């Protein structure tokens, strides 16, 4: 009764949205439940599923196999259908999400052509099927007696026996050790699989049944065209999902494989000469790439490393190993929400990865388009927002604007040093950040709390272009008023044209002391003239540092400093604060 209720609820929930997706099937998402090598078998199986489930369709794959899918749906609905039908064992446990781009001519329903890619119009009439309690693997008459099945089973290698146990486990029938030993537990799971699929439950799989079980288990790999790829230039041989990615180019130390369809998957092969120092540098560099999201475990141990990343709609895995002065490895990037298929692809790549003597020439791809936002053709990860800040005590405490830390999953300095918020004043818009490790700044701000003179010259140090120049720049101006626009104390008005990235930078007087911190330009309400900027006054900054448990350094120098000295101080204390989304 519960199963019927769940199925009815699912139909009501997604039915209308499935109809909507049907109107725009090029953007539709499907649940692939099975793939068969022949049209006849595929039509037979499609009929079985159509007798039990709605929205059953069938399409030819690029690999030549025939896929049975349910849909199309919107992405969220497809994931719900996948969860519910798998939980109810209406579809195999290794069913997965697929996309319209992977599908070709339509063979089911016979004559249908919803993707406008042609229909297979010569229908093969399905043979009468024995009544089955549920949809499962391909039913077929027994091709061997139990004695013959045992005899053919004895010819299996140890790995083939383990593979059968793994496939039974993936189908939900086996939960014991994968050891290749066919004891009572394995025999019982085989019998349950046979019974579920309409076969006589002998506990010994025939040759055809073993093939059906393994074909179903390998359907996710078949759907992505898993095949051997040998790259002599990189010195790597590995199984790759060549149905969804294709080789694009070399840019040392990488060989790039980009998507060739709707599935946003990518593969990067890694090949370079190096040492442990090179391996460590690669480990750090990979974590700065957009294809390696911030969230996930990462480990560098001895002569190898692994990095997992999840976020921004993708999941990536990187591994690399140093052997005989050569670093070889790969990165697999896969869209989120397709974890079952991703896990199978990753396992196949890891198990098949082999190296040869070759190594990618360091000059490979030297003529490729160059960009400061790229590393060997891979996009560097960019922060959601970058602002300036400055060291306020000898241990590396940083003063910056509050907007630099709002809604951030992680806050870092330019060198990757992580920071935590020690205190925040939302009214003034100032934040105090404490580094996770004690730092040793080249220079620390000396706060001059004396009231500045009107029209006196000041300079703001900041990363005007949010880190593009790699160092802070100085922007000069004057004190226009010692109060804010509404007469508020603790705020100084400057006659100075600043960029968004300058916000949070220190405001220097002509003695090289800090008299304030530049605040962000107003983005709501009135728009100020370009040469009007506001700064938090030094006395307010002193108060905020005290609340954060820090002691501000007080200005002592009274003589004017040279432009070179001012630039030295600005460079030593001004930092780039990065907010990662």
Say which range, 76-80, 278-282, 468-472, 547-551, has the weakest mean pLDDT: 468-472
CA distances from 320 to 131, 143, 174, 269, 279 (A): 51, 46, 33, 10, 8
385-580 to CATH, choices 2.40.10.120, 3.40.1160.10, 2.40.50.140, 1.10.1840.10: 2.40.10.120
Looking at the DSSP assignment, which residues form a beta bridge with residue 238?
229
pLDDT at residue 57 tops 70? yes
pLDDT tens-digit series, residues 468-489: 777 899 999 999 998 888 878 8
Question: Could you tell me the pTM of the whole model?
Answer: 0.59
Q: What is the mean pLDDT of residues 142-149?
A: 83
CA distance 392 to 553: 8
H/E stretch holding 506:
strand 506-508
CA distance 135 to 126: 16
Q: What is the mean pLDDT of residues 428-450?
A: 92
* Strand residue runs (E) in 380-484: 385-391, 398-401, 410-413, 419-425, 430-435, 446-447, 457-462, 473-481
pLDDT at residue 428 tops 70? yes
Q: What is the mean pLDDT of residues 426-444?
A: 92
2-108 to CATH, choices 3.30.70.1070, 3.40.640.10, 3.30.565.10, 2.40.110.10: 3.30.70.1070
For residue 297 the two structure tokens come to: 């475990």
For residue 362 the two structure tokens come to: 């360091």
Q: What is the mean pLDDT of the chain?
A: 85
* Strand residue runs (E) in 338-447: 354-355, 374-375, 378-379, 385-391, 398-401, 410-413, 419-425, 430-435, 446-447
pLDDT score for 117: 86
Residue 37 is classified by DSSP as S
Which of 60-69, 118-127, 358-367, 558-567 shows the highest mean pLDDT? 558-567
CA distance 445 to 393: 7
Looking at the DSSP assignment, which residues form a beta bridge with residue 249?
256
pLDDT at residue 4 tops 60? no
Q: Long-range contact list for 161-165, CB < 8 A, 24+ apart?
A: 163/214, 163/217, 164/205, 164/210, 164/213, 164/214
Q: What percent of the chain has pLDDT over 90?
A: 49
For residue 468 the two structure tokens come to: 């593009």
pLDDT band at 27 (very low <50, low <70, confident <90, very high): low
pLDDT band at 240 (very low <50, low <70, confident <90, very high): very high
229-379 to CATH, choices 3.40.1000.10, 3.30.413.10, 3.30.460.80, 3.20.20.140: 3.40.1000.10
Domain ranges, ordered by start, for the chain: 2-108, 146-221, 229-379, 385-580
pLDDT band at 579 (very low <50, low <70, confident <90, very high): very high
- Asked if 31 contacts 81 with a C-beta cutoff of 8 angstroms, the reply is yes
Residues near 100 by beta carbon (within 8 Å), at least 6 away in sequence: 25, 26, 27, 28, 30, 72, 115, 262
pLDDT tens-digit series, residues 504-541: 999 999 999 999 999 998 766 667 788 899 999 999 99
């Amino acid at each position: 009764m519960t199963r019927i209720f769940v199925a009815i609820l699912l139909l009501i929930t997604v039915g209308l949205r499935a109809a909507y997706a049907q109107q725009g099937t090029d953007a539709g998402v499907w649940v692939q439940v099975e793939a068969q090598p022949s049209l006849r078998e595929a039509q037979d199986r499609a009929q079985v599923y159509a007798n039990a489930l709605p929205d059953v369709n069938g399409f030819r794959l690029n690999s030549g196999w025939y896929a049975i899918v349910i849909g199309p749906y919107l992405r969220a609905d497809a994931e719900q259908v996948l969860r519910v039908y798998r939980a109810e064992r209406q579809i195999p446990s290794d069913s997965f999400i697929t996309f319209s781009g992977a599908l070709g001519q339509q063979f089911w329903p016979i004559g249908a052509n919803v993707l406008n890619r042609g229909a297979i119009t010569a229908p093969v009439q399905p043979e009468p099927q024995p009544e089955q309690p549920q949809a499962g693997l391909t039913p077929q008459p027994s091709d061997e007696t139990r004695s013959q099945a045992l005899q053919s089973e004895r010819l299996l290698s140890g790995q083939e026996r383990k593979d059968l146990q793994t496939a039974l486990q993936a189908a939900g029938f086996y939960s014991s050790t994968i050891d290749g030993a066919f004891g009572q537990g394995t025999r019982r799971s085989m019998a349950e699989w046979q019974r579920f699929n309409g076969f006589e439950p002998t506990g010994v799989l025939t040759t055809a049944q073993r093939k059906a079980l393994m074909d179903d288990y390998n359907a996710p790999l078949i759907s992505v065209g898993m095949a051997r790829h040998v790259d002599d230039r990189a010195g790597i041989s590995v199984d790759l999902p060549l149905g969804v990615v294709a080789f694009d180019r070399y840019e040392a130390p990488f060989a790039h494989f980009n998507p060739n369809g709707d599935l946003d998957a990518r593969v990067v092969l890694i090949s370079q000469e190096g040492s442990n120092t090179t391996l460590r540098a690669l480990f750090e560099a990979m974590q700065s790439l957009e294809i390696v999201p911030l969230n996930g475990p990462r480990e560098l141990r001895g002569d190898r490393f692994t990095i997992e990343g999840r976020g921004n709609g993708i999941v990536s895995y990187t591994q690399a190993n140093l052997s005989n002065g050569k670093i070889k490895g790969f990165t697999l990037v896969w869209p989120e929400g397709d974890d079952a298929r991703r896990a199978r692809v990753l396992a196949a790549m890891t198990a098949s990865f082999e190296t040869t003597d070759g190594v990618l020439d360091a000059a490979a791809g030297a003529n490729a388009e160059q960009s400061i936002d790229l590393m060997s053709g891979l996009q560097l990860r960019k922060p959601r927002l970058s602002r300036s800040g400055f060291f306020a005590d000898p241990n590396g405490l940083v003063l910056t604007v509050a907007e630099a830390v709002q809604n951030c999953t992680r806050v870092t300095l330019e060198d990757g040093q992580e920071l935590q918020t020690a205190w925040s004043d939302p009214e003034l818009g100032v934040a105090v950040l404490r580094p996770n490790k004690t730092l040793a700044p080249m220079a620390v701000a000396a706060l001059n709390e004396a009231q500045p003179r009107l029209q006196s010259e000041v300079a703001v140090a900041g990363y005007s272009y949010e880190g593009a120049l790699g160092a802070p720049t100085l922007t000069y101006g004057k004190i226009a008023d010692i109060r804010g626009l509404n007469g508020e104390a603790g705020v100084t008005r400057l006659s100075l044209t600043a960029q968004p990235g300058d916000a949070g930078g220190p405001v220097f007087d002509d003695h090289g002391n800090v008299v304030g911190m530049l605040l962000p330009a107003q983005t709501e309400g009135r728009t100020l003239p370009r040469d009007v900027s506001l700064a938090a006054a030094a006395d307010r900054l002193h108060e905020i540092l005290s609340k954060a448990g820090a002691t501000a350094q007080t200005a002592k120098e009274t003589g004017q400093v040279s432009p070179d000295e001012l630039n030295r101080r600005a460079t030593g204390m001004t930092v780039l604060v990065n907010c990662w989304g």
